[in-house]
Structure 1
């Protein structure tokens, strides 16, 4: 009986993590050999696509996730079909990214995820399906910290970068201080009551010191030489008879036509907005069903 329960739990967990998902007819799975490792990824092409170069979004999963789980969690594949962009879902090393904070398997094994993502982007551009001037990056949690690192170290790859439930780590801040890199449009989407990645900064549960969300936005404002003029707005939603408010902040007058934006999810936690947590045994704070996190992500990208 104990073995049966374990098998059932394992099957449930694998399903939650996306390992049982099958590719659709407009998807492909591929890999890149780097550092002696086979690094895999899934490419989703929009259903109604004529083969001409179109925008591409690279989506990085969180810790313990995978490319497949990121598809199930975000439904970015469905948004890709309706909006007409390619979306790529890479797999991290042992379900993690080397974002520089030091405690993930990828960091501990000195995995070069910066080079992996760079090679992936350049390969897909070389295939002729991607508009090289409209390549975007989004990441959630560990993937969000990786997105911030890539924004600092490889800004020339991206039209825009957005992190969900992640901000600038002290590691990435120090990297920026040693590099003379280009400007890039950056956004952060964060819940004010995130129990795993504190909105006010400090230390993350899985390791590493981070800046606050507000400080992270101000850093990008400085790095992009933005004017003081800021646009603010608030949107309100009703959920279970409770008011849910989202604050939007945007610096739009920045060098090289870049922008810096904040999507502040008041009272919400760590989960991707609109979807159930993919890791049911970890408390990720308050969730919501009335928001579409993926739409918020693409709205930011389309505005750049």
Structure 2
């Protein structure tokens, strides 16, 4: 399902947001609070559904719920979704962005590794990098990517974990891994203002500088934060969220992912080669000033799986 609010025309910037394991797109939409950022910044937010409400995210099968469920071809689905949004006049092909939480965050990393030419930038919330990515992740270009993670996350631990069937890196090592892929140099660190001293958490930002093609990497660490995305807007969390740890209110995940990702766009597609066999320049991401764009009107519904947009 796709819903486009009236008064907005496309093609527009689009953020595709991937839910966590066993979470419906509707539940994720109500919990995440991305709609508020979409309304304020005039982009389209799309909430697709993974087959069986999980994503085939590239981790070893034994480490994820897909091991016991029918394995969907989620990567091909997300590429087809992006192309359909462009074909329907909803999305600006240079400004399609991908974000996700937990299982959805791992799926974002898989797409960054395998389909770097489809999405302009990526953001990962409450997920780290699978250790196998060190051998298997070879993006076609430097990929801008943001990580947001809580140090007290008991579901996907901030420090990473090891099992006999696979392992994940820590959140800092995950960001550093992509910084190395992007050829970044030094990093800088700063503490963000503690705007809500009663939420029990604070935020530290670490950003990598001097990256190839300007493809920056940033890690927002939520000190004492649990397995929850930060939010400053009103949301409708699931009943289970009180058991996931503290939720930060100093920053808003929707605004942070948009602030980071919207600074990037894909370069225009290269024209066809003049002669058969001639090389085509790879697609690159470029930094650009923030721009506003109108959202599309009317309804266009992809043929595969449910989704809703704002």
Identify whether the pair has TM-score above 0.5, normalized to the shorter chain: yes
Name the structure 1 match of 2:189: 232
1:191 and 2:170 aligned: no
Equivalent positions of 1:15-54 (< 5 A) are: 29=1, 43-49=2-8, 51-54=9-12
Shift of 1:203: 4.2
Shift of 1:239: 3.7
Name the structure 2 match of 1:248: 205
1:291 and 2:248 aligned: no
Are the equivalent residues in 1 in contact too, given 2:30–2:236 (CA < 8 A)? no
Cα 1:46–1:83 change in 2 (3 A) is farther
Name the structure 2 match of 1:273: 230
Per the alignment, in what secondary structure is the counterpart of residue 244 of structure 2?
coil
Name the structure 1 match of 2:304: none
Shift of 1:242: 6.6
Per the alignment, in what secondary structure is the counterpart of residue 148 of structure 2?
strand
- The 2-side partners of 1:250 and 1:284 are apart by 27
Shift of 1:64: 1.3
Query: Which has a greater percent of helix?
Result: 1
- The 1-side partners of 2:240 and 2:52 are apart by 19
Per the alignment, in what secondary structure is the counterpart of residue 176 of structure 2?
helix
Per the alignment, in what secondary structure is the counterpart of residue 270 of structure 1?
coil
Tell me the number of residue pairs that the alignment of Structure 1 and Structure 2 aligns.
257
Cα 1:97–1:208 change in 2 (3 A) is farther
- The 1-side partners of 2:65 and 2:238 are apart by 19
Name the structure 2 match of 1:60: 18
- The 2-side partners of 1:292 and 1:186 are apart by 17
Deviations 1:48-67 (A, max 9, x none): 31x23111100000011121
Name the structure 2 match of 1:210: 168
Name the structure 2 match of 1:148: 109
**TM-score, normalized by length of structure 1?**
0.77
Deviations 1:19-50 (A, max 9, x none): xxxxxxxxxx1xxxxxxxxxxxxx3435431x
Deviates more, 1:179-188 or 1:232-241: 232-241
- The 1-side partners of 2:12 and 2:173 are apart by 34
Cα 1:296–1:72 change in 2 (3 A) is same
Shift of 1:240: 5.5
Are the equivalent residues in 2 in contact too, given 1:163–1:189 (CA < 8 A)? yes
Are the equivalent residues in 2 in contact too, given 1:227–1:251 (CA < 8 A)? yes
Shift of 1:276: 6.4
Per the alignment, in what secondary structure is the counterpart of residue 201 of structure 2?
strand
**TM-score, normalized by length of structure 2?**
0.76
The unaligned stretches of length 5 or more in structure 2 are: 265-310
1:77 and 2:58 aligned: no
Shift of 1:298: 1.3
- The 2-side partners of 1:279 and 1:145 are apart by 24
Deviations 1:212-251 (A, max 9, x none): 11111111111011122x2322113254647632111112
Find the partner of 1:132 among 93, 99, 107.
93
Where relative contact order (Cα < 8 A, 6+ residues apart) is larger, the structure is 2
CA RMSD of aligned residues (A): 2.3
Name the structure 2 match of 1:181: 140
Find the partner of 1:90 among 42, 45, 48.
48
Deviations 1:172-216 (A, max 9, x none): 33321xx46222101100001111111111148xx8521111111
Query: Which has a greater percent of strand?
Result: 1
Name the structure 1 match of 2:131: 170
